[in-house]
Amino acid sequence: MRSLTYPFKVIIFPFRVFREMTSSPSLSNVLPGFLLVVALQLLTLAATLCVRASRIFLDSEAQSTSLLASDLFRINLLSGLLRSSSSLLLSWVTYAALLLLIARVFSQKRTPWNPFLIIVGYTFSVLVVSGVITTLLVSLLPEVHFDAAVWSSGTSEEIAKVYDAAWGSTLVLHALNYLGLVFMFWLVMLGAIVVSVANEIKLLTAIMVSFTAYFLSALITAFLSV
């Protein structure tokens, strides 16, 4: 299916790909590629969590064991993926809905809801790229060792202190912090392109719409996630 190539093409040729999608906005045309975006994001997230766990070791008197090899990690991996998938779903729905509603203030064109929501989901392709880069960077972090007792029964403050001592001053951690901002901006710009192409409004106006929608969706997501 052609739509399975959209998640990759939208990274390089966003204007062309979004025009193609909005010219024939049917669910059958855009849904398979969107599902691929979701699957790839969960896959890269799982890879990041596995690599991160491989850098964490639990020390006891008998031995030092990688967190990746523990039963605890397998349980936490599943719960982490479930939390992330629900967070992704919430972020996508709120951002796409706000994007469409705010865009209608500036355009008389009425884009159908169903395909538009799916098309906006392709902006999350940048998070797949972000996940790949994050996984590579995390693999460069130094090993961090926890006392097994602290890991299992310690407070979050105690665990955070160990993380900060081992990783807090590394260039990798600073790079990861900036990486989040870069990809957030990239996602918002792709959202602006969707609005501009689908609603036939100026790109500058579309950028304003996209930033407003993203900011409001972040507030709503944070509130609902409490």
pLDDT digits (tens, 9 = 90+) for 136-150: 999 999 999 888 777
Residue 26 falls within a domain, yes or no? no
pLDDT bin (cut points 50, 70, 90) of residue 206 is very high
Residue 190 falls within a domain, yes or no? yes
pLDDT bin (cut points 50, 70, 90) of residue 226 is low
Which residue, among 45, 42, 52, has the nearest Cα to 140 in the 3D structure? 52
Residue 46 falls within a domain, yes or no? yes
Q: Return the pLDDT at 81.
A: 83
Which region among 29-43, 97-111, 113-127, 131-145 has the lowest average model confidence (pLDDT)?
Answer: 97-111
pLDDT bin (cut points 50, 70, 90) of residue 127 is very high
Which residue, among 133, 162, 136, 167, has the nearest Cα to 149 in the 3D structure? 162
Which residue, among 34, 4, 181, 212, has the nearest Cα to 120 in the 3D structure? 34
Residue 165 falls within a domain, yes or no? yes
How many structural domains compose the chain? 1
Percent of the chain past pLDDT 70, that is, above it, reads 98
Q: Return the pLDDT at 115.
A: 84
Residues forming beta bridges with residue 59, ordered by sequence position: 64, 147
Residue 1 falls within a domain, yes or no? no
- pTM reported for the whole predicted model: 0.87
Q: Round the average pLDDT of the chain to a whole number and report it.
A: 87
What is the rounded average pLDDT of the residues 12-38? 87
Domain residues for the domain of 121 are: 38-225
What is the rounded average pLDDT of the residues 52-61? 87
The residue type of 200 is E
Residues 6+ apart with CB under 8 A from 188: 207, 210, 211, 214
pLDDT of residue 153 exceeding 80:
no
pLDDT of residue 199 exceeding 90:
no
Q: Return the pLDDT at 112.
A: 76
Residue 132 falls within a domain, yes or no? yes
Q: Return the pLDDT at 47.
A: 93
pLDDT of residue 193 exceeding 80:
yes
Q: Return the pLDDT at 1.
A: 66
Q: Return the pLDDT at 154.
A: 62
Please give the C-alpha separations between residue 103 and each of 1, 22, 110, 145, 213, in angstroms, as whole numbers. 30, 15, 10, 50, 9
pLDDT bin (cut points 50, 70, 90) of residue 63 is confident
Residue 126 falls within a domain, yes or no? yes
> What distance in Å separates the CA atoms of residue 8 and residue 36, rounded to the nearest whole number?
10
> What distance in Å separates the CA atoms of residue 217 and residue 184, rounded to the nearest whole number?
13
Residue 116 falls within a domain, yes or no? yes
pLDDT bin (cut points 50, 70, 90) of residue 184 is very high
